[in-house]
Structure formats: structure tokens, C-alpha cells
Amino acid sequence: MTTRILLMVCTIIGIANAADEPVVPQSLELAQQANLLKFLKNHEAPQRYVPSGARFVDAPPPKADEEIQATRAKPIRQYTVQITPHRLVPGSDSIGKADVTFYRPNPDKGKPGITVKHTVDLATGAQIGETEVLTAAHTPISRDELAESVASAKTDSPKLRALYAGRDAKTVTWEYLQMKINRKSPNLDPGDRVLRLVFTATTSEGDPSPTPVRVIVNLTKGLVFADDR
């Protein structure tokens, strides 16, 4: 692969552990956590792809994207990427605000998605200020997208299916790197949301270890292919 890329976010993680992680920061007070969960609940089903009245931090999306609305057949998907509490204001007893970052895949498969940011009042769970939209941000991968990527790799990669065949799934571990695509190639375009996954199987003492399986998952285009670099 000749595509120049920037590798980001190297982590070894298990799907079960990722799913069990709390959505909101546990360092916050219980009432603040409850208010954040209320905000997330109220925003879990967007009606518009681009929020109405949002401020565009970088380049605005195409006009056609601004008109996309959710339908029963084609809902707007959204992933919670991160929740970042603000710093404690001098003289205050508790943190008052947090930023909530979502990633929304474009409803038209193959097109880049957008990042949506809100600032939340932790005392009420209400939004403060404008909604921000970014079209060019290299937004971190969410845990749900990671889980979907691993599931897709297990289903669509023949080499990975062979690695798991006849083997206890618990003996297979994996790591990932989020990739930033800077140059177009046959399966990758700038702005695509892409992960590189490496699966490794452990064996009994004395048995030869199988070759690790390296897979690229392009979430934007819905592609899974071998990493032959």
C-alpha cells in the first residue's frame, strides 16, 4: 500500500471490557453523571444530519447534507466519542460544564461524516451555547465503532475466520490503530474513518504460534481487506 497515512491511537482492548466501560466520567458527582446521561438520552436519535443553527468550526458541509433528515428507513446514526469535563473554576466546589463529542457517519455510504460538539451544564443537563459542527476533524474512534470494526473483520476476513476456526476465542487478542488517510488509494480516501487491526492467537506451550492476521477496516466505505504492507 503506497498511501501515506498517520497511525493514531494504539490500544490493546477487549470488546467485552469496552462495552462495560461507563459512558460518563466516574470522577463527576452522581447528580452530574445523571444529568449527562439525561442529555445523552435526549440526543440519541438525531432528526437532522447537520444540526439546525449549528456553527461550522471549519469548512461547512455541502448544502445537500444540511437538508438530510432522519426517516424510519434511514435513521441518522450517531456515536458518542468522548465526554470531557471542563476544569474546575477557582472558587467553585465542583466542575460546572462538560463537552460532549459525537460522530455522525454520512447517511450516504462512502461520504465523510461530521463531528458534532455540545457543551452541557452539569447542574441541569441542558446545553449551553451553540452546537458546533466540524467536517475536517480527525475525531477519535468511538468504542461502538471499534466493536463494529472487530465484528466486521471477523465476518469478512477469510484469514481471520481461519484463525478463529477450532480455537477458543479467548485465546485470540487484538490491537488497533486509527489511521488518518492523507492520500487517495483504491480503497481509501482522505476523510475516511479507518482502523488497522492486528489479531494474535496464543497457543499451548511448545505449539507453533500462527501468523498474526492484519486487517484494514474502512468504516466509511464498509470495506474490510487484508493489510499487506
Residue 23 confidence (pLDDT): 81
Quick one: pLDDT band at residue 10, thresholds 50, 70, 90? very low
Q: What is the pTM of this model?
A: 0.87
In the chain, the amino acid numbered 183 is R
User: Quick one: pLDDT band at residue 2, thresholds 50, 70, 90?
Assistant: very low
Percent of the chain's residues with pLDDT above 70? 90
Rounded to 5 degrees, φ, ψ at 62 are -55, 145
Q: Which residues pair with 114 in a beta bridge?
A: 104
Q: Is the pLDDT of residue 15 over 50?
A: no
Count of alpha carbons within 13 Å of 204, Cβ hemisphere only?
Answer: 2
**Strand order in 213-218's β-sheet?**
5-12, 172-181, 194-201, 213-218, 223-226
Say what the pLDDT of residue 9 is. Answer: 37
pLDDT at res. 22: 57
pLDDT in tens, 92-149: 888 999 999 999 999 999 999 999 999 999 999 999 999 999 999 999 999 999 999 9
Helix (H) or strand (E) holding 130: strand 127-134
**Which residue segments constitute the domains of the chain, with CATH numbers given?**
23-134 (3.10.450), 143-226 (3.10.450)
What pLDDT, in 10s, does the model give residues 24-51? 999 999 999 999 999 999 999 999 999 9
- With b for 16 or more beta-carbon neighbours within 10 A and e for fewer, the 101-134 pattern comes to bbbbbbbeeebbbbbbbbbbbbeebeeeeebbbb
Query: Parallel, antiparallel, or unpaired: how do β-strands 114-121 and 79-85 relate?
Result: unpaired
Residue 3 backbone dihedrals phi, psi, to 5 degrees: -60, 130
